[in-house]
Amino acid sequence: MNAMTPSHLAYVPFVSVANMMKLVHHIGLERFLIDLSGDIEADFKRWPEFDKVARVASHSPGGVIELMPTADRALYGFKYVNGHPKNTRTGHQTVTAFGVLSDVATGYPVLFTEMTLLTALRTAAMSALVGRYLAPKDADVMALIGNGAQCEFQAFAFRAICGINRLKLFDIDPKASEKAATNLRAHGFDVRICQSAQDAVEGAQIITTCTADKQYATILTDNMVGAGVHVNAIGGDCPGKTELHRDILLRADIFVEYPEQTRVEGEIQQLNEDHPVTELWQVMRGDVPGRRDARQITLFDSVGFATEDFSALRYVKRMVEDTGFAVPLDLLADPDDPRDLFGMLERAKPV
């Protein structure tokens, strides 16, 4: 019997942070991102099969705590995630998360896992997957504006999936850029640290904005985005938080995950509710075109959606089966007689 096949059905496989890191290194980071993007793409192609609802968010002055649920006919998944930009001042992560995958037929969880690392991985995989559909075919330089916890994951995903190895970095905190440059150069990336966002976007065909502060901000002004550019706007999203000047949105073709959520939290909260956007599942299924020509400005207004977490949970469940990367967690009560929960409690009474 291994860690994934406990003798008791009430045990739930649990993937800790330590085991998630072991799993990623066992598979290989870039292979993990490629395979995960494939699962996300497959789930987007069957988009109508999912129950879909905008995430449930509880906002506070310091940040937000969210629940992100979805389900198909066989499995239900949800993620708990927070976003607290000021956390780094006290040595805490801006984002932490965990997730659960359950069997629809019984309601029993079949996986419980950390999702702080997994969210970073699935966000990067989703970005690069969309880049494969929307970025210029000859793209070879990406600007990364905002060099915090998500930065390196984005770089690895775009290299693995889109072949991008040249990076231009900018962050208002020079230490963040130095951190990212050190990490990325160690893995063969061609990296240049820039002194301004304007400098970073010059000559880049892909622009990734990845800032965390929960406020209206203008990271990219209209004059910084020229024809033929793909903008990957992935920074932490909520009502009242933007990164792009409104005029960029008016010039771009905008692609979103779930419009009902993006119009509340994404860049397009700056636009009228009837402003046209394209849903990515339609692009991935081939129902509508992605990038049509070399001069088109494409914008992925990314806010993250529950189906991406569902894909990540499903992928991890598959990858940890018959391995030691999950441990059985005594999470569910399972009395001999399912109607006698009290009897189970009584029998556990200390002698």
Are 97 and 122 a contacting pair, CB within 8 Å?
Answer: no
Quick one: three-class SS letters along the chain?
Answer: CCCCCCCCCCEEEEECHHHHHHHHHHHCHHHHHHHHHHHHHHHHCCHHHCECCCCEEEEECCEEEEEEEEECCCEEEEEEEEECHHHHHHCCCCCCEEEEEEECCCCCEEEEEECHHHHHHHHHHHHHHHHHHHCCCCCCEEEEECCCCCHHHHHHHHHHHHCCCEEEEECCCHHHHHHHHHHHHCCCCEEEECCCHHHHHCCCCEEEECCCCCCEEEEECHHHCCCCCEEEECCCCCCCCEEECHHHHHHCEEEECCHHHHHHHCHHHHCCCCCCCEEHHHHHCCCCCCCCCCCCCEEEECCCCHHHHHHHHHHHHHHHCCCCCCEEEECCCCCCCCCCHHHHHHHCCCC
Q: Is 133 exposed, middle or buried (0-12, 13-18, 19+ CB in 10 A)?
A: middle
Q: Annotated catalytic sites, by residue?
A: 237
User: Each residue of 200-235: b (16+ CB within 10 Å) or e?
Assistant: bbeebbbbbbbbbbbeeeebbeeebbeebbbbbbbb
- Length of the chain, please? 351
